[in-house]
Structure 1
Amino acid sequence: MENKVLAIAAGNEITEKDLNTIITRYPQEQRGALQSEDKKSQLIEQLISFELMSKFGKEIELDKTQEYKDAIENISKEVITSMAINKILADVTVTDEEVKKYYEDNKESFGEPATVSAKHILVKTEEEAKKAKEEIANGTLSFGDAAMKYSTCPSKEQGGSLGEFSRGMMVPEFEDAAFTAEIGVVSDPVKTQFGYHLIVVDAKNEASVKSFDEVKDGVVNQLLQQNQHTKYDQILKELEGKYGVERK
């Protein structure tokens, strides 16, 4: 594949490979935005400036200074350390048996709680709640219209909808009524610290456990990280014994 020359700066060629190398240093989600001709031109200008500054730095012999030599030594140490860590961790794996066992031993952590989807109307007095319920029951108003007319909760703008929620997300009196209510039946007034509620449940979802296939990738990643940490700590202890460490 031809490595097209995009520019020549200070006698050095800047190629498509150089440009692509720069692009790959950006996070994956940003790379797409760098594919336009305008963005590529900006990156090429950056590469040109690097070459010009590098040439200038050598001309004034910055590469012969102690500061430069110290910086190169530090960079070299960082690179070789990173390569050593990658080499140590490269052979760390997770078996299917390990993943399956972890799932079976920790099923409770993959549980989905029971939830309900409900709407409510919040008013200050029990009399107001009973009046609203009566108008819904005789067909004068739909539940949503009654919410708009009577409710003091901002949810009235969505017909009283609170969406889906599990236990622990609402005050106890409210959630007890919601989780025991029949679907589609408007509750009697429920008193809480906020006032009186009429509640109607649209749907219920029983508690469940995510399947192995749903969580497998996440478990693999978690176990891989655990195994890598274990291997890294093990190697560090071995190297400490081999090379010696004196902590002061």
Structure 2
Amino acid sequence: MTEQQLVAVVNGKEISREEVLKFLNDMGPQVAMQFQSPEGIKRVIEEMVNQELLYLDALEQNMEEEAEFKETFEATKKNLLKGYAFNKLVADIDAEEEEMKEFFQENKNVFGQPETLKASHILVEDEDKAKEVIQELNDGLNFEEAAANYSSCPSKEAGGTLGEFGRGQMVPEFEDAAFNMEVGTISEPVKTQFGYHIIRVDAKNEAEEPAFEEVKEQVQQQVLARKQEAKYQEKISGLKVKYPVEIY
């Protein structure tokens, strides 16, 4: 190994630039970003040296012969072997173009942009009060002002706005009313478990159907995951016949 590739030598053990890069990669991208400067790289090299020194000390003290270490080693080896066996089992599985397209066609709703809307509301306790507020709105009262004055929902502090949401995020009565309204309109009182709502739809975003190429990578991941799971379950079924299993 050339001197340019070497970053340190500990008791004859060489540490290379490639090993430093692998050490950084193993940290994960978010943590590794903290060590991208020359000073950060120096700290990483120092830590690698420290770990090598600790390893040498452990060998000298014969720690690998201690019962606790052997138990830990066996448990670690067992888990590594499980992961290795799974990876080997599914290593040859691939997602063909045609099956990806078929899966995409059958699950377009999963990959598309669902219909969403932005709405504001005023929440009051009874229907009569809701009707009074609606009359004031019809007479020219600003919706945000009405929300601040009358609404019992914390959203009153922001003029009643609830932000953007899709189906399934609000209680059914509220959702049914809101998604059947036109932008800019104000609803009649809508009763839910929380009280009576006066809803204003501020914006609507229609559902969007993506093109296959736009979500091809996501489709591939899901197809692969399904095929891997099927292969895994098939293998497990065979192993349950081979090895006795009792679940209590």
1:69 CA displacement: 8.6
CA-CA distance at 1:27 after TM superposition: 1.7
How large is the RMSD of aligned CA atoms in angstroms?
A: 3.8
Other-structure match for 1:136 = 137
* 2: CA distance, partners of 1:79 / 1:171: 46
Report 1:213-232 matches (<5 A).
213-231=213-231
Matched to 1:165, the amino acid is F
Alignment of 1:16-165 (within 5 A): 16-60=17-61, 65=65, 86=87, 89-110=90-111, 113-139=114-140, 141-165=141-165
Gaps of 5+ in 1: none
Taking a change above 3 Å as real, the CA distance of residues 146 and 2 of structure 1, as seen in their structure-2 partners, is farther
User: What TM-score does the superposition give when structure 2 sets the normalisation length?
Assistant: 0.74
Aligned to 2:175: 175
Change (3 A) 1:190 1:74: closer
Alpha-carbon distance in 1 for matches of 2:188, 2:77: 74
2:197 is aligned with 1:197: yes
Local SS of the residue matching 2:27? coil
Query: Post-superposition shift, 1:172?
Result: 3.7
Deviation at 1:76, TM superposition (A): 7.4
Sequence identity percentage: 41
Structure 2: 5+ residue stretches without partners: none
CA distance in 1, matches of 2:73, 2:129: 78
Deviates more, 1:191-200 or 1:26-35: 191-200
Normalised by the length of structure 1, the TM-score is 0.74
Alignment of 1:185 onto 2:172: no
Distance 1:127 1:240 in 2: 66
CA distance in 1, matches of 2:114, 2:167: 8
Would the aligned equivalents of 1:119 and 1:159 in 2 still touch at CA under 8 Å?
yes
Determine if contact 1:10/1:51 at 8 Å carries over to the other structure.
Answer: no
**Aligned partner letter, 2:184:** G
* Aligned equivalents of 2:32, 2:96: Cα separation in 1: 33
Amino acid at match of 1:199: I
SS at match of 1:181: coil
- Displacement after TM superposition at 1:103 (Å): 1.7
